[in-house]
Chains A and B, each alone.
Chain A
Amino acid sequence: MASASRPAAADNASTVPAIAVDGLHKRYGAIEVLKGIDFRAHEGEVISILGASGSGKSTFLRCLNLLELPSAGRLQIFGEQVDLRQSGDALHIGNRRQVDRLRTQVAMVFQNFCLWSHMTVLENLMEAPIHVQRRGRGEVREEAEAMLRRVGLIDRAKAYPAQLSGGQQQRAAIARALVMKPRGLLFDEPTSALDPELVGEVLKVMRDLAAEGRTMLIVTHEMAFARDVSSRIVFLEQGRIKAEGLPLDLFRGGVNERFDQFISRFNQA
């Protein structure tokens, strides 16, 4: 239902992709985790990245903001070629400033929330906009409070992360990402560390973001969420994209045997 209201990928096919990846490889010593990934994400797409654990989906997501350095390949963010230089068997960041700037445009939400524990919730939200983006304190404060209102945490603005539930921490972490006014959002298993009863509140916030037409890449194990909210599914297996398409097509079954097996294992569990 939500996917029907979303712009289809084809609508944006002519424009510059938000994220473009070509021939992405990632090796840890002798182990090759990503074995050549070509991928496009267009502005406004909500893409769920699915796969068994060890399929490389988190590594793939982390390569997109260079928390992991790819071993080979090319990466373009909003039309800008990321300066990666080959040295020996690995790639290195060519231009730190460029990477730091791009990271504020592609914000990340982590599995373990990773709020800074010595700062209040409000301070967490204001940190990067003030110190990285160098925006004015007054404007940032207003924006941060608006975001906290949005995720339902304005009454916890002065609390420290340790005083919040997991669901509240993750909502605060999403708000922290949003205050940077990013053009894209990366979610790395955002509900995997939550108690089951807290998953819903986080998914609801993400659903609202998706409905706004934000560009989102989500590594998740929430199959129902992926099916209902994504505009596209990317299925990874053993470091390769094995299937890709509209959620309704893929989840109906019969399109890709490996994906069907993956889903049936999930349904049994």
Chain B
Amino acid sequence: MTSGMFELLGFGPQGWGLPLLKAAGVTIAAALCGFLLGSIFGIGGATLKLARPRALRLIGQAYTTVFRGVPEILVVYLFYFGGSVILTTLMNTGGFPGFYSLPSFVIGVLAIGIVSGAYQTEAYRSAYLRLDRGQIEAGTACGMSKLLLLRRIVAPQTLRFALPALGNIWQSALKETSLLSVIGLTELLRQAGTAAGSTRQPLLFYAIAAAVFLVIGRATGAGLNRMESHLAKPWRR
């Protein structure tokens, strides 16, 4: 069994090592792209929710309510099937018959980005609300333009306050990538499933997938903690 296990997990022609490693790469890539896209949605969402016009605030509110309230797997399905329906209709009316769909990686990143963005909206919004108005005023009184204030005072401090929450959201985004197995993306869970099926060793391969998720999560988490304590330094007495 032991020698067989090494062979199964090795990088030889019979081994699942390389496919699993590739799949882990896909998982990291999908999580990272999704999270980064989410930070764009998040900053946008927070800007909407903090805006003065009521209509903008309502749009921001609707965004976070919907995408935090709907199960993530449903969002994935909606994007997958909805995306191809829209794309096919557009292409067909444009004179290109047939069936079209976006690559599942793109769909996956979009789905994770929009859900993660809804949570990040709250992280950025509450961080912004914690800013000391006096410090912003001090910048204004020094002749800083709005853009300079944003770049030099508001953004660094907001990021600092948002970072603990962003760390948690990153961990969720990482785990959510496993949902993308349902739309055929060969990420870690799906690859482990394939290996489990063809070798009839489900326990082994799912345990390995779990371990890899843990390792990625802990490693990135440690990095984020380091960054957090570095950025928190000025606030320590």
Contact = CB atoms under 8 A, between A and B. Distances in A.
B52 interface: no
B135 A65 contact: no
Contact of B160 (A96, A101, A118): A118
Given A110-B134, A114-B137, A117-B135, A128 B237 contact: no
Contacts of B145: 96, 100
B70 interface: no
Contacts of B156: 118
A132 interface: yes
Interface string B139-156: 111111100100011001
A67 B137 contact: yes
B138 interface: yes
Nearest to B157: A118
A112 B135 CA distance: 9
B31 to A, nearest CB: 28
The range of chain B's interface size is: 20 to 34
A131 B152 contact: yes
Interface in A152-176: 160-163, 173, 176
A170 to B, nearest CB: 12
Nearest to A173: B138
Contact of B138 (A110, A131, A160): A110
A119 B139 CA distance: 13
A179 to B, nearest CB: 10
A104 interface: yes
A116 interface: yes
A104 B143 contact: yes
Contacts of B144: 100, 128, 131-132
Given A127-B152, A160-B233, A116 B135 contact: yes
B142 A107 contact: yes
A103 B142 contact: yes
Interface in A94-109: 96, 99-104, 107-108
Nearest to B153: A116
A50 interface: no
Interface string A108-130: 10101011111110000001100
Nearest to A129: B142
B236 A117 contact: no
Contacts of A107: 141-142
Contacts of A176: 142
Contacts of B135: 114-117
Contact of A65 (B141, B148, B160, B236): B141
Contact of B141 (A103, A116, A119, A131): A103
A180 interface: yes
A169 B231 CA distance: 21
Nearest to B159: A118
A248 to B, nearest CB: 32
Given A67-B137, A114-B132, A131-B152, A162 B142 contact: no
B157 A115 contact: no
A96 B144 CA distance: 10
Contacts of A101: 143
The list of the 3 closest CB pairs from A to B, nearest first, reads A114-B138, A128-B142, A160-B234
Interface of A: 65, 67, 96, 99-104, 107-108, 110, 112, 114-120, 127-128, 131-133, 160-163, 173, 176, 180
Interface of B: 132, 134-135, 137-145, 148, 152-153, 156-157, 160, 231, 233-237
Given A99-B143, A101-B143, A176-B142, 5 more contacts: A67-B141, A110-B141, A117-B235, A128-B139, A132-B143
